[in-house]
Structure 1
Amino acid sequence: MKIGIWDSGIGGLSVAAAVQDVLPGVKIHYIADTAYFPYGGQSQEILVQRALYLSHSLVSDGCQLVVVACNTASSAALECVRASVQVPCVGVEPAVKPAVQMSQSKHIVVLATQHTAEGPRLAALVRNHAHSARVSVLPMPGLADMVEAGQISGPVVTSMLWSQLAGPISEGADMVVLGCTHYAFLRDVLAEVLPEGVTILDAAQPVAKRVKFLLHDAVKSDSLCVPPLMNGISKGAESYVDLKVTGEQVQVEEVLDRLSSRGAKLPRSILFRACSRRT
């Protein structure tokens, strides 16, 4: 069983690590579309083109489920991908609904890229699930770029985060939603910055659980021609991530080494595979 995951860069590896936690033997094919990073600077047309190309590439590689592990791309192109590929497709979105449900103060914060913060998908989530809760959406321009460069701690990162969070936290916000998969690598520094009683939510675990559910459901309904899932994946199989990079592979290797040295949770057994440039 293989699943495909793609993102504009390394952020979606946080989702891949969560998938490995719930499906320990799954084979993951991952594409980091670094030649087009950051997606926030791309037009809607380019985002749809990349989404379709990357998703179809993973299906052609034999992946039986595709995860669009990018909030910007999910907002811009998820429905196009679902209409185009012949396998289940999972997107990511800020965890507004569970945050509102869990919040005691009924005030939550969403950290997001500029594109996601201004997009219709987040607006719909807030409209449909906030009810009487207050939702403070904080655009964080440049933060994903810092993570993509391997910068997940230090005074610059801390200052950027707290300069935005200080106001809502002082006003009683008790939930911080991470609206970009890159931000999952900032959990440790956020835990240091935020006061006790403030909870951090990201999309990695819910997406991983959704992937597991869909694969089990597909096997039970015989919509995928695969052996029983628990026999084929989770009993003794060795998990790995087959990683393609559309930009410069050496840069990504260096960033992953940097993240690993700083304690970031990365997937097990990342194997790089050649990918044609700017395809």
Structure 2
Amino acid sequence: MSNSNPIGFFDSGVGGTSIWKEVIQLLPNENSIYLSDSINAPYGEKPIEEIIALSKKNTEKLISMGSKIIVVACNTATTNAIQILRDTYPLPIIGIEPAIKPAALGSQTKSIGILATKGTLSSKLFSKTSELYSKNITIIEVVGNGLVSLIEQGKQDSEEIKGLLSNLLKPMLAAKIDYLVLGCSHYPYLVPVLKELLPNDVTIIDSGEAVARQTKKLLLENNLMNNINISPKHLLFTNAKPEILANLVHAKKNNLDVSYLNF
């Protein structure tokens, strides 16, 4: 395995690029491969067995493409399949969980909101993390039904999504939350709309920065940092519509290679 081999990423769709952006910003010398499994999005509404099977499929594809480390840029896949992936495959695998800890520790109102998929909120790993940090804190959990599908259609700025979010946020606003945890890697693309709908004193928090720091830590620990000083190569693939993925990452402006791939 060469240190110049890419970091592999996968998500149930285009949303994991919010994590990918944080990682390549922190590690500008690293090559990357991103798999957007949009044809199977959203994972959050699927049975656990299917989530595990899809996670294995994506992991094996990334390994076959030479990935030296894999970032599971999907909350649902992490909370339901990460331990199985780590037990099955020999390379370092990083997951993404809702950032409950910083929200719970930072909250002044002792009331925080978590917007996530059904698959994440119903998982054992989420329950364990939630229990750990929920003492003396009220956690308002809301399933973001319909949000991933709209983002996959490129409608993250639409009136449709604004109306949907307005309804989803009602129980959180009623509970006077001061932190909103985004528990799905698609949701950071909703931040501009969320800022319009939420009071100024609500802090929106996601896991991207923490995942980037953990990726760097594991690369250093495993002596896998790319020390060859060349322009990095980023390959982004989707098994649905490349134009939606390309628009989201501003492919032309950033000179990124976005392609269709049947996987």
Residue in structure 2 matched with residue 58 of structure 1 by the alignment: 62
Is residue 243 of structure 1 aligned with residue 236 of structure 2? yes
The aligned runs of 1:106-255 (5 Å cut-off) are 106-219=110-223, 224=224, 229=225, 231-232=227-228, 237-245=230-238, 247-248=239-240, 251-254=241-244
Specify the SS of the correspondent of 2:35.
Answer: strand
Deviates more, 1:160-169 or 1:184-193: 160-169
The 3 A distance-change label for structure 1 pair 45 and 267 is: farther
Q: Distance in 2 between the 1:267 and 1:137 partners? A: 37
Q: Distance in 1 between the 2:126 and 2:189 partners? A: 21
Q: Distance in 2 between the 1:7 and 1:33 partners? A: 6
Q: Distance in 2 between the 1:68 and 1:252 partners? A: 20
Residue in structure 2 matched with residue 271 of structure 1 by the alignment: 257
Provide, for residues 110-145 of structure 1, a one-character-per-residue CA deviation record: whole Å limited to 9, x for no partner.
Answer: 001122222222221111111111110011110111
Residue in structure 2 matched with residue 35 of structure 1 by the alignment: 39
The answer as to whether partners of 2:140 and 2:171 remain within 8 angstroms in 1 is no
Identity %: 30
Write the letter of the residue equivalent to 1:9: G
- How high is the TM-score relative to the length of structure 2? 0.91
The answer as to whether partners of 1:9 and 1:33 remain within 8 angstroms in 2 is yes
Specify the SS of the correspondent of 1:146.
Answer: helix
Q: Distance in 2 between the 1:151 and 1:274 partners? A: 20
Deviates more, 1:198-207 or 1:52-61: 52-61
Write the letter of the residue equivalent to 1:110: I
Q: Distance in 2 between the 1:166 and 1:47 partners? A: 30
Provide, for residues 134-174 of structure 1, a one-character-per-residue CA deviation record: whole Å limited to 9, x for no partner.
Answer: 11001111011111111112322222212222332243210
Q: CA deviation at 1:266?
A: 11
The answer as to whether partners of 2:113 and 2:139 remain within 8 angstroms in 1 is yes
Specify the SS of the correspondent of 1:231.
Answer: coil
The answer as to whether partners of 1:108 and 1:176 remain within 8 angstroms in 2 is yes
Q: CA deviation at 1:58?
A: 1.2
Specify the SS of the correspondent of 1:25.
Answer: coil
Gaps of 5+ in 2: none
- Return the match for 2:108 from 104, 107, 117: 104
**What is the aligned length?**
259
Q: Distance in 1 between the 2:230 and 2:199 partners? A: 41
- Return the match for 1:256 from 246, 251, 256: 246
Provide, for residues 223-252 of structure 1, a one-character-per-residue CA deviation record: whole Å limited to 9, x for no partner.
Answer: x4xxxx3733xxx5323421222x33xx23
Which consecutive segments of 4 or more residues in structure 1 shift more than 3 A?
229-232, 265-269
Q: Distance in 2 between the 1:273 and 1:155 partners? A: 29
- How high is the TM-score relative to the length of structure 1? 0.86
The answer as to whether partners of 1:9 and 1:34 remain within 8 angstroms in 2 is yes
Specify the SS of the correspondent of 1:181.
Answer: coil
Q: Distance in 2 between the 1:8 and 1:153 partners? A: 20
Q: CA deviation at 1:63?
A: 1.1
The answer as to whether partners of 1:96 and 1:125 remain within 8 angstroms in 2 is yes
The 3 A distance-change label for structure 1 pair 255 and 51 is: closer
Specify the SS of the correspondent of 1:131.
Answer: coil
The answer as to whether partners of 1:8 and 1:36 remain within 8 angstroms in 2 is yes
